[in-house]
Amino acid sequence: MAQMQTPNVQMPPSRAFTFHLDFEGLGWLTIDVPDAPVNTLSRETLAELAGIVTALEEMASSGELKGVVLLSGKDSGFIAGADITEFDEMSDPGVLRAALDRAHGLFDRIEALKVPVVAGIHGFCLGGGLELALACHYRVAVNDDRTRLGFPEVNLGIFPGFGGSGRSIRQAGPVDAMQIMLTGKLLRASPARRMGLVDKLVRVRDTLRWEARKAVLQARKSSPAPFTKRVMALGPVRGYVANKMRAEVGRKAKPEHYPAPYSLIELFEQHGDDWRAMKRGEAERFIPLMNSNTSKNLRRVFFLSEGLKKQGVRGKDKPVFRRVHVIGAGVMGGDIAAWCALRGMGVTLQDLDMERIKPALDRAKALFRKRLRSKTEIDNAVARLEADVTGKGLARADVVIEAVVENLEIKRKIFAEAELKTRPGAILATNTSSIELERIAENLTAPGRLIGLHFFNPVAQLPLVEVIRSRFNADADIARGAAFALAIGKSPVVVKSAPGFLVNRVLMPYMLGAVQRVEAGANKEQIDAAAVAFGMPMGPIELMDTVGLDVGKSVAEELGNPVAPDSQFARLIADRKLGRKTGQGFYTWSNGKAVKGEVPPHPDLAGLGRELVQPLVNATAVAVAEGVVASDDLADIGVIYGTGFAPFLGGPMQARKDGRA
């Protein structure tokens, strides 16, 4: 370790930064925001950095300073971005503009320092953190599985506001840079290096310092993107590229719902060939976006999702889960087993014979190939998922998840056996979507061991797991269930054991209401288009076909809304036209897609959509009132994560409060 020198220039006091000058004249600047799990750039932290940069400028001028290395002192990573908790208090455009101008000025000064400034990156380097790294002259990153770089701002209804729009284009070229800003996609170190956002990779964090030191002493500078990339932002090509980006974004988000990506594309269209102009143009667009309803709601959704992480058991009592035994190798059981194996668990998948288990293993392999990069990782995941016809995995399991047919007697039998064969601390969980837990658990010796872990189809896409609580469960049973859901990267929402729990309970009236309109002669394409115009990810009729009309019927009956025997719905079921899985339901399905006709014109499609979701909003309010879910916030995040309900509206309860649903 280089011994420390006392700089001739006095460093200002700082809570978030430490600095020392070594015998070679290298300044080692470490950010470690106190009492926080991750580093974020609050106004206070940025003000401290500004004072430090003033001292660095003086030391560089005096020749005392040969270069600066910026590192993070946190294990979690480099910097997670600007401090989102401050955004609501900066709603005044003048306050926000001044804050942005200060940040821009500060980052410009860092870039203008007369000595090399090198960023050493490990773990998260996101948003404003990546923008700060891009203002440095050179970037070294640890090439391991924890390093992630990116601009998640678009998930908050904004886009990079500290100069990152221009600097990322300068480094990565317009197409790649815009792609990661428009999608919020996070990059591992190696792709970030290929893209030009990072200059050098090291294998482990310990060598960051060494490599960064070399970069300073050799005065290495990052190269801007080559002309072959930059050409995509020149002249008429830029307009063409901008339209392609607009079309791509339009496939997932409407401008009236999510203005940020469209505003960023306009900024690119205006200044994409001049990164400094791009950077200068950020603030006037950033400010209205930050104050938009969409951004306020998306920030709330972010903090609600962060709050879900606290539902598990944390700290020293945090349980460790290694082995999962899944009973039932159907679509849900197989996909739950595959997901657990993907997330590192050892999994045994039980069913009556190999013929039933093999399709699930095949689907799992396809998921591993899609989500994992190297052959080794794929092979390891495959090895973690074992067929288990005899159920030998029960005895070693930390968690048992039953996902068999919705038959009460079969479930009771399964748990009666599981209770005897599993270790006392093992979690017993059912993935039932409709049977109240009490009826499954009541004959067990320890009924409190049984909880619900209700996953959503497709398991690999939908983050929500409803952790179902029966009257037999203690808080600890539920906390362990939530901890397991978090351990496999899911978002747990605790829900009381009541018909339909939360998501099915609110979805069903919405879907059945739409079906009734179609039965009364409404056009199904128009109904679905209206729901999407409102902000749902998919229309209710297409959703019913996707879920399966037979499943819809059984959940409807469970909720006391039986399907009328003389209805088109009942006739479709009678004819085994069950939706996507049989190729025919309300729609004809081809290659997994609903074949849709033209949407008849409607004077206020979004207004019709708002009418359609009323049953969903009302059912959510009733679920909260009945204590099925503990609060409006948990209902909102649960419905957003379980149904894709318009995140830009903040969920059904927030939308109702805002008079938008």
* Burial (Cβ within 10 Å: 0-12, 13-18, ≥19) of residue 263: buried
Residues 302 to 321 in contact with ligand T1G, rule: CB under 6 A: 306, 309
Instruction: Decide: is 404 part of the binding site for ligand T1G (CB under 6 A).
Output: no
Does 492 sit near ligand T1G (CB under 6 A)?
no
Distance between CA atoms of residues 28 and 213, nearest Å = 9
**From the list 33, 52, 66, 83, which residue makes contact with ligand T1G (rule: CB under 6 A)?**
83
With binding defined as CB under 6 A, does residue 72 bind ligand T1G? Answer: no
Count the alpha carbons within 13 Å of 280 in the hemisphere toward its beta carbon: 7
**Cβ-based nearer residue to ligand T1G, 41 or 329:** 41
**Residue 12 has which token pair?**
């200002």
Angle, helices 164-172 vs 259-271, to 10°: value is 60
Name the minimum Å distance from CB 40 to ligand T1G.
Answer: 4
Q: What are phi and psi of 414, to 5 degrees?
A: -60, -45
Closer to ligand T1G by Cβ: residue 26 or 158: 158
Stretch that binds ligand T1G, among 148-156, 225-233, 395-403, 514-522 (CB under 6 A): 148-156
For residue 606, the minimal CB distance to ligand T1G (Å) is 28
Q: Are strands 399-402 and 427-430 parallel, antiparallel or unpaired?
A: parallel
Specify the stretch interacting with ligand T1G by CB under 6 A; choose among 160-168, 259-267, 320-328, 446-454. Answer: 160-168
In whole angstroms, how close is the CB of 73 to ligand T1G at the nearest point?
15
The answer to whether 387 touches 354, Cβ cutoff 8 Å, is yes
Whether 138 contacts 215, CB under 8 Å: yes
Least distance to ligand T1G from the beta carbon of 129, Å?
Answer: 7
The alpha-helical segments, DSSP class H, found in 77-122 are 93-112
Among 27, 67, 116, 128, binds ligand T1G (CB under 6 A): 128
HEC assignment per residue over 251-304: CCCCCCCCHHHHHHHHHHHHHCCCHHHHHHCHHHHHHHHHCCHHHHHHHHHHHH
Q: In terms of CB distance, is 152 or 651 closer to ligand T1G?
A: 152
Query: For residues 642, 648, 649 and 650, what is the CA-based torsion angle, rounded to 10 degrees?
Result: 60
Distance between CA 161 and CA 179 in Å, rounded? 16
From the list 154-162, 221-229, 246-254, 554-562, the region that binds ligand T1G by CB under 6 A is 154-162
Catalytic residue among 122, 137, 271, 454: 454
How near is the Cβ of 481 to ligand T1G at its closest, in Å? 19
Of 84, 249, 332, 547, the one binding ligand T1G (CB under 6 A) is: 84
What letter does residue 10 receive in the DSSP assignment?
Answer: P
454 carries an active-site annotation: yes
Cα angle 308-311-316, degrees, rounded to a multiple of 5: 130
Computed over its alpha carbons, how large is the radius of gyration of the chain? 27
The reply to whether 491 sits near ligand T1G by the rule CB under 6 A is: no
Query: Does 164 participate in binding ligand T1G (rule CB under 6 A)?
Result: yes
Q: Which C-beta is closer to ligand T1G: that of 42 or that of 554?
A: 42
Could you list the beta-strand ranges (E) of 305-402: 323-327, 346-350, 385-387, 399-402
Among residues 11, 27, 40, 512, the one that binds ligand T1G under rule CB under 6 A: 40
Report, in Å, the least distance between residue 477 CB and ligand T1G. Answer: 23
Establish if 126 lies at the interface with ligand T1G (CB under 6 A): yes
Contact with ligand T1G (CB under 6 A): which of 153, 335, 545, 558?
A: 153
Cβ of residue 106: shortest distance to ligand T1G, in angstroms? 12
Q: Which residues are at the interface with ligand T1G (CB under 6 A)? A: 37-38, 40, 76, 80-85, 124, 126-128, 131, 152-153, 156, 158, 160-162, 164, 306, 309
